[in-house]
């Protein structure tokens, strides 16, 4: 491996690890947001006399937000069975770690990239569910206001 290729692989490795960290940061913020929306919607909905249309749309909206929270939790759940990064290194002797790192940086990049794509895909599905759940809760509010008028 040439020195340039080694530096390029090191930069790509750092970039992939940074992308994984970005997904974890976004996921944390979205989990807090979803939790706050669920708590607020439950409190407001529990204290109002809602008609059946509002109860149904609100319930489906809450279910969508709960599903999104589940996806977000899945996204940040540690994957300790991987064949790259520290889960692999934990199974090796110090000499094997040194050899694996110097020999298999490209394989580690590929494995971490697959992990990053999986995390981003899960995050994307969660955002879609958050948008759908939010839209349903807005519809619930409109039904509640319309039913009260």
- Lowest mean per-residue pLDDT among 55-59, 99-103, 126-130: 99-103
pLDDT in tens, 105-118: 888 888 889 889 99
From the list 22, 20, 27, the residue with the least C-alpha distance to 124 is 27
pLDDT in tens, 74-83: 998 887 776 7
pLDDT in tens, 14-54: 999 899 899 999 999 999 999 999 999 999 888 888 889 99
> Contact 63/132 with Cβ under 8 angstroms?
no
Cα gap 68→18, rounded to integer Å: 23
Q: Which two tokens stand for residue 124?
A: 């994307």
Q: Which range marks the domain in which residue 11 is found?
A: 3-148
Number of domains in the chain: 1
């Amino acid at each position: 491996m040439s020195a340039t290729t080694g530096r390029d692989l090191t930069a790509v490795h750092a970039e992939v690890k940074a992308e994984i960290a970005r997904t974890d940061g976004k996921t944390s913020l979205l989990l807090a947001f979803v939790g706050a929306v669920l708590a607020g919607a439950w409190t407001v909905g529990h204290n109002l006399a809602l008609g059946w249309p509002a109860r149904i749309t609100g319930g489906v909206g809450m279910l969508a937000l709960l599903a999104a929270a589940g996806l977000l939790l899945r996204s940040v759940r540690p994957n300790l069975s991987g064949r790259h990064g520290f889960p692999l290194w934990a199974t090796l002797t110090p000499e094997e770690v040194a050899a694996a790192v110097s020999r298999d940086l490209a394989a580690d990049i590929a494995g971490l990239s697959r992990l990053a794509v999986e995390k981003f895909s899960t995050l994307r599905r969660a955002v879609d569910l958050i948008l759908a759940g939010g839209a349903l809760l807005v519809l619930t509010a409109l039904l509640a206001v319309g039913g009260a008028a």
